[in-house]
Amino acid sequence: MTSPFAEFTTLAVLHALAVISPGPDFAIVLRQSVVHGRRVALATSAGIGSGIVVHVLYSVLGLGLLLRTSPRVLEVIQIVGAAYLLWLGIQSLRARPRSDVAAEASPQADASGGGVRRAFITGFLTNATNVKATWFFLSVFTVVVSPQTPRWLQGAYGAWMAVTTTLWFSLVSFGFSQPAVRRAFLRRGHWFDRAMGVVLIALAVRLALSRG
């Protein structure tokens, strides 16, 4: 049995590399930070971190075996995730010019975008339906984590990944929600939103066409 320290170190490094790589999560947080502000972006980050819990639960509880041996289950998740990203992308493409850039970039604008609850759900669904994340966790808990590792310790690994994911995207939120940064983006805000829409749609198409 591999030592818990070795397991944790390997898992932490792999997770760090995965979480900082560009993907749907990063695209959503970037958009939320620039378009809606820090409060909404932080709520989205918390939702993404909470989505990690879904992947950890099915890995720890043994449901990962079902997913690995049932391609249709993964295919359904893949279709749902692609459809959700496509919907977000289409919504972004419909963005219109903003009348007051200064007001949009002010701290008071942070509560826009449907509120923190909607932002949290957006982040949660984006991560929970991400098949790339599904394959990552299935691989990690199969190859890195020993079957003899206690469930509570596997849960602790998962908690670490959920917390660090939230912290990373919170850092991204703080960076891109700075008033000067937002103001620069929002001068051409509707074009930025539409560009992010194209990115999200491209990610949706890539997810729909991929086969793990």
Measure the CA–CA gap between 58 and 104, rounded to whole angstroms. Answer: 41
Name the band, by pLDDT with cuts 50, 70 and 90, for residue 76: confident
pLDDT at 139 over 80: no
pLDDT of residue 43: 95
pLDDT at 105 over 70: no
Least confident of 55-59, 100-104, 122-126, 151-155: 100-104
Positive or negative torsion for Cα 198, 201, 206, 212: positive
Name the band, by pLDDT with cuts 50, 70 and 90, for residue 172: very high
Residue 155 to residues 41, 52, 198: CA-CA distances in angstroms? 26, 11, 37
Most confident of 34-38, 59-63, 146-150, 154-158: 154-158
Q: Express the helix, strand and coil content of the chain in percent, nearest 5 each.
A: 85, 0, 15
Q: Are 104 and 181 in contact (CB under 8 A)?
A: no
Measure the CA–CA gap between 131 and 178, rounded to whole angstroms. Answer: 31
Which helix (DSSP H) or strand (DSSP E) does residue 191 occupy? helix 189-209
Give Cβ neighbours of residue 133 (< 8 Å, ≥ 6 apart).
18, 51, 52, 55, 127
Measure the CA–CA gap between 83 and 81, rounded to whole angstroms. Answer: 5
The secondary structure of 46-109 as a DSSP string is: HHHHHHHHHHHHHHHTTHHHHHHH-HHHHHHHHHHHHHHHHHHHHHHHT----S-HHHHTSGGG
Positive or negative torsion for Cα 203, 209, 210, 211: positive
pTM: 0.71
Q: How many CB atoms lie within 10 A of CB 99?
A: 7
pLDDT at 169 over 90: yes
Residue, of 212 and 122, whose pLDDT is higher: 122
pLDDT of residue 154: 86
